Amino acid sequence: MLLALGGAAGLSAAERAPVPGADFVSVLPSGTQAPAVHVGSFAMDRQPVTNAQYLAFVLEHPQWRRDRIAKLIADGDYLSHWAAADRLGESVQPDQPVTRVSWFAARAYCEAHGGRLPDWQEWELVAAADEQHADARHDPDWQAKILDWYGRPASEPLANVGLGAANYYGIQDLHGLVWEWVEDFNALIVSGDSREQGDPDRLKFCGAGALSLKDRENYAVLMRIAFLSSLEARSTAHSLGFRCASGRDP
């Protein structure tokens, strides 16, 4: 793939797609009467970060090697699928998305590449698009297609990045490849069920209480939220990767 060949130095601007600002109805409640939230314009990586790209980062910033990482920053499975701390090995493809990276690690990678992790609402906005439409969420065929991924066994080897069709924004692999970290993963406060009454967890939360998710149709996105909200910042997982974003205009 293109990215892996030129990827060692990091993403150039061309590899990050511009996303115009939009008023967007998120599955997260807005907390006001208005159904939509405004997401300012930003840019997002066209593809998830690959093993080759992350290896280049680790070689340049050795404090992120798996044998030097602090326990607070990443759990014991951090990059455990690589053959060595500084080598992918035979069974790991350079163009596969990097996974088994913690939130802290993903964040540091993006910072080193002139970016940041996308916010949840930025990710959700971009992931709502199909190839032709900015918002395909109410298309049952599209819903069925992305749900299909969640039914596949997690033990299958991960495909290389860039094989999924580019969506409306020219961004690939948002669905069907990996879970992705977002900057505000710990803002996704979800209660076990969203009933308002008699919730024993209610007092733990200041303000409006746990999220009462609005759009139960959008099951695939709700699963993303449930998954992300179950993570700690040091967590890593076999199918949890990330991509970066940059810019944030009103």
Partner 1 sequence: MRPSRPVAVGFLAAALAIAAPGGLASEPKTHRHEALAAATAPPGDSLYQLPISLQSADGKTFKITDLRGEPLVITMFYSHCSSVCPLLTAQLQRLIGQLPRAQQQRIHVLMVSFDPTRDTPEALRHFEAEHHIQGANWIVARASVSDVRALAAALGIQYRELPDHTFNHSAIISVTDREGTVRARTSELTGSDEAFVQALRTQIGTTPPRR
- Rounded to 10 degrees, what is the CA torsion of 129, 131, 137, 142? -140
Q: How far is the CB of 140 from partner 1 (least distance, A)?
A: 30
Site string for partner 1, 81-110 (x = CB under 8 A): ----------------------xx--x---
Using alpha carbons only, what angle is made at residue 117 by residues 111 and 118, rounded to the nearest 5 degrees?
A: 145
User: Hey, which residues does 97 pair with through a beta bridge?
Assistant: 50
Q: Per CB under 8 A, does 233 bind partner 1? A: yes
Q: Per CB under 8 A, does 206 bind partner 1? A: yes
Q: How far is the CB of 188 from partner 1 (least distance, A)?
A: 7
Q: How far is the CB of 185 from partner 1 (least distance, A)?
A: 8
Which tokens hold the place of 205? 């939360």
User: Hey, which residues does 38 pair with through a beta bridge?
Assistant: 23
Whichever of 6 and 209 has its CB closer to partner 1, that residue is 209
User: What's the sign of the alpha-carbon dihedral 183, 184, 186, 189?
Assistant: negative
Q: Per CB under 8 A, does 187 bind partner 1? A: yes
Q: Per CB under 8 A, does 195 bind partner 1? A: no
Whichever of 57 and 104 has its CB closer to partner 1, that residue is 104
Site string for partner 1, 58-77 (x = CB under 8 A): ------------xxxx----
Q: Among residue numbers 116 through 135, which ones bind partner 1 (CB under 8 A)?
A: none
The Cα–Cα gap between 64 and 162 comes to 25
Q: Per CB under 8 A, does 226 bind partner 1? A: no
DSSP per-residue codes, 9-59: G---GGGEEEE--EEE--SS--SSS-S-EEE--EEEESSPPBHHHHHHHHH
The Cα–Cα gap between 97 and 154 comes to 14
Q: Per CB under 8 A, does 31 bind partner 1? A: yes
Chain positions contacting partner 1, by CB under 8 A: 30-32, 34, 37, 70-73, 103-104, 107, 183-189, 203-210, 229, 232-233
